[in-house]
């Protein structure tokens, strides 16, 4: 007799969360992202997303969706980033930012990018 109860597979939401991703179908909200960006990202990437002495601008063609897809942002939040485009140093992981919060921040960043013609 084979018992699998103790070896149950994680549900999709748990599996995605372990990868730093929100639940399937979750849509980030721009207004929520604005507040979360201010709290967690602005100190390094600038209040207006134009960068600072600590981090690069997100309103830059380097971060357009075709070059840095949303998945790159999720991974940056979860795992950090080794500096490769800029000389600011590495970005550490941001464990205080949940996958759902990251989705809201990404929605806000993409919205601002579209406003300045970065698509």
pLDDT of 10: 62
CATH of the domain at 64: 1.10.760.10
Locus of tokens 């995605």: 16
Total domains present in the chain: 1
Yes or no: say if 57 and 45 are a contact pair by the CB < 8 Å rule: yes
Looking at residue 81, the DSSP 8-state letter turns out to be B
Q: Which residue range forms the structural domain that includes residue 41?
A: 27-115
Could you tell me if residue 1 is inside a domain? no
Could you tell me if residue 16 is inside a domain? no
Yes or no: say if 90 and 80 are a contact pair by the CB < 8 Å rule: yes
Q: Is the pTM of this model over 0.85?
A: yes
Q: What's the pLDDT tens digit per position in 35-94?
A: 999 999 999 999 999 999 999 999 999 999 999 999 999 999 999 999 888 888 999 999
Buried b (16+ CB within 10 A) or exposed e, 46-70: beebebeeebbebbbeebeeeebeb
Could you tell me if residue 97 is inside a domain? yes
pLDDT of 78: 97
């Amino acid at each position: 007799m084979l018992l699998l109860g103790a070896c149950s597979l994680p549900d999709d939401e748990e599996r995605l969360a372990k990868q730093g991703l929100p639940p399937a179908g979750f849509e980030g909200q721009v207004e929520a992202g604005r507040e979360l960006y201010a709290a967690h990202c602005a100190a390094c990437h600038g209040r207006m997303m134009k960068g600072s002495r600590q981090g690069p601008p997100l309103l830059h063609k380097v971060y357009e969706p075709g070059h840095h897809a949303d998945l790159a942002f999720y991974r940056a939040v979860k795992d950090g980033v080794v500096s490769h485009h800029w000389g600011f140093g590495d970005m550490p992981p941001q464990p205080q930012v949940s996958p759902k919060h990251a989705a809201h921040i990404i929605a806000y960043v993409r919205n601002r990018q579209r406003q300045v013609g970065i698509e």
